[in-house]
């Protein structure tokens, strides 16, 4: 237990006894023993030894004891649940029998299952339920009655149609925190439209800014809209849990829960920096600018002698002077007209040409070595092969391997963020479809006969 009443981590331990904590740790130990060990490709420096009373929390994660029900598919909801699971939450992922979450078969497959699945669903349990059936809906209500968090990313109204809307779930469990991620949010004129991350990226303003001027706006190469929404959702869950702790009373022994409404497009728009105030104040509409960042100079990608590109960010005043000295242009470093960002923006084409001319005479490695010596922020454009070979990634624990059922090793990303006392951990591999169905149903009191009957009718899998 944390002794300070307002400790941020306190709400996740408050409702649970020491016996519960020991039981969670024992479940973690049993799963880890048979679930696929995770190894780092390089040793990571050990954290400072934790105080004795924090040992159990350190082993299990800061969210140990937090019960999460995940009702979602593909990316946004599942990524949020995965983040909570990485830090110790017990996540029960509910998926349809037969096919399961479509992400299981997205992109490249190994033995019939996406390797992405091993990242998105690590540390989760799988419960296969057909949510169209009343008996399955009743099971979800029973699980939600004992859960701390429920995450869903269906189109607005779907949960209500199954009798699983917030009015019903919070009436049965007033302490429940319900995260709802959708394309356009639970309210407003667009709420009923189907929404995917790529559409949200366009509506949120991002797609208009990507690509070269005058050409087709290009898509960011990953599902950034979904991921941004997921991270906003995780923030919302942690804020709601803090509020829940603050509202503990005799009438509400676990505190008061609430609904978190995250719209994909709003999560993207929240990261659009100065776009709206610039438009509101000046009528300025920022346009695509390729690899540059309009209004900040110099910062761009510069082609080098070996055909590669170096990213150079020389936009701080003192950094700019060091950059100009490095490329042999002390005249520009000392020019009063270029001392501030506004002056450099006015002559950005000239500055880009000067840096580009210098870069074109050197390889990427030579450019980066020179700029590093001059303390100018710069870097190469990494492919995943570059990442997998990079010693800094390895030293920071970001290149991990998990053992697959066939004994082979699979490279997976490590954990972010890094907590010094209560770090994330890989407790077990992503589950097979329905791997935990019977166990979860037994835990909520169903008999073997009842479980068999549900299987026979295809309600569970």
Q: What is the pLDDT of residues 27-68, one digit of tens each?
A: 444 444 335 656 654 433 333 333 333 334 456 899 999 999
* C-alpha separations of 265 from 42, 120, 181, 182, 238 in Å: 38, 22, 10, 9, 21
pLDDT at 267: 98
Residue for token digits 């004994």? Answer: 407
CB neighbours (10 Å) of residue 142?
15
d(CA 339, CA 334): 8
The single residue of 148, 226, 261, 352 carrying the catalytic annotation is 226
DSSP output for 256-289? ---EEEEEHHHHHHTT-TTHHHHHHHH-------
Please report, rounded to a whole number, the percentage of residues in the chain having pLDDT higher than 70.
87
d(CA 314, CA 331): 16
pTM of the predicted model as reported, rounded to 2 decimal places: 0.87
Mean pLDDT confidence for 332-351: 97
For residue 70, pLDDT over 90 is answered with yes
Give ranges for CATH 3.40.50.10540 in the chain: 10-270+394-456
For residue 73, pLDDT over 50 is answered with yes
Query: How does the average pLDDT of the chain come out, rounded?
Result: 89
- Choose between 50 and 258: higher pLDDT: 258
226 carries an active-site annotation: yes
Give ranges for CATH 3.30.1540.10 in the chain: 299-380
40: Cβ contacts below 8 Å, ≥ 6 apart = 394, 397, 399, 400, 401, 414
pLDDT at 37: 59
pLDDT, tens digit (0-9, with 9 covering 90-100), for 162-199: 999 999 999 999 999 999 999 999 999 999 999 999 99
pLDDT, tens digit (0-9, with 9 covering 90-100), for 395-449: 999 999 999 999 999 999 999 999 999 999 999 999 999 999 999 999 999 999 9
* 3-class secondary-structure state, position 130: coil
Mean pLDDT confidence for 117-142: 97
Q: Tell which CATH classification among 3.40.109.10, 3.30.43.10, 1.20.1440.60, 3.40.50.10540 matches the domain 10-270+394-456.
A: 3.40.50.10540
118: Cβ contacts below 8 Å, ≥ 6 apart = 402, 404, 410, 412, 429, 430
pLDDT at 60: 83
Confidence of residue 158 (pLDDT cuts 50, 70, 90): very high
As to burial, measured by CB atoms within 10 angstroms (0-12 exposed, 13-18 middle, 19+ buried), residue 17 is: exposed
CATH architecture entry for 299-380: 2-Layer Sandwich (3.30)
Mean pLDDT confidence for 130-139: 98
d(CA 277, CA 290): 22
d(CA 257, CA 443): 24
């Amino acid at each position: 237990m944390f002794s300070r009443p307002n400790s941020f981590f306190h709400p996740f331990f408050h409702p649970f006894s020491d016996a519960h904590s020991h039981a969670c740790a024992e479940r973690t130990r049993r799963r880890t023993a048979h679930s696929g060990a995770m190894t780092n490709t390089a040793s990571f420096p050990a954290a400072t030894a934790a105080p004795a009373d924090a040992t159990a929390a350190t082993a299990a994660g800061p969210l140990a004891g937090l019960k999460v029900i995940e009702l979602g598919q593909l990316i946004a909801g599942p990524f949020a649940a995965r983040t909570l699971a990485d830090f110790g939450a017990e996540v029960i992922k509910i998926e349809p029998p037969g096919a399961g979450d479509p992400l299981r078969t997205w992109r490249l497959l190994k033995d019939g299952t996406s390797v992405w699945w091993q990242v998105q669903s690590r540390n989760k349990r799988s419960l296969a339920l057909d949510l169209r059936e009343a008996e399955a809906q009743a099971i979800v209500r029973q699980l939600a009655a004992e859960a701390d968090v429920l995450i869903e990313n269906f189109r607005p109204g779907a949960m209500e149609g199954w009798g699983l809307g917030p009015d019903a779930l919070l009436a049965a469990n007033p302490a429940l925190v319900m995260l709802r991620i959708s394309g356009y949010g639970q309210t407003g004129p667009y709420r009923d439209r189907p929404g995917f991350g790529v559409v949200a990226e366009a509506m949120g303003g991002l797609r208009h800014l990507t690509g070269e001027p005058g050409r087709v706006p290009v898509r960011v190469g990953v599902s950034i809209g979904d991921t941004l929404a997921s991270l906003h959702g995780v923030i919302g869950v942690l804020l709601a849990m803090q509020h829940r702790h603050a509202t503990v009373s005799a009438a509400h022994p676990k505190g008061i829960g609430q609904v978190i409404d995250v719209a994909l497009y709003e999560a993207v728009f929240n990261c659009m920096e100065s776009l709206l105030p610039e438009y509101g104040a000046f009528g300025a509409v920022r346009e695509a600018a390729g690899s540059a960042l309009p209004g900040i100079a110099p910062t761009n990608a510069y082609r080098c002698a070996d055909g590669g590109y170096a990213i150079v960010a020389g936009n701080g005043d003192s950094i700019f002077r060091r950059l100009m000295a490095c490329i042999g242009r002390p005249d520009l470093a000392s020019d009063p007209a270029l001392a501030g960002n506004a002056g450099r923006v006015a002559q950005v084409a000239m500055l880009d040409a000067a840096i580009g001319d210098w870069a074109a005479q050197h390889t990427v490695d030579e450019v980066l070595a020179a700029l590093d010596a001059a303390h100018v922020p710069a870097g190469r454009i990494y492919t995943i092969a570059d990442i997998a070979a990079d010693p800094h990634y390895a030293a920071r624990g970001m290149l991990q391997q998990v053992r697959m059922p066939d004994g082979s090793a699979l490279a997976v990303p490590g954990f972010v963020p890094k907590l010094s006392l209560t770090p994330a951990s890989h407790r077990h591999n992503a589950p097979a479809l329905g791997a935990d169905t019977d166990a979860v149903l037994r835990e909520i009191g169903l008999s073997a006969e009842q479980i068999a009957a549900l299987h026979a009718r295809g309600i569970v899998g």
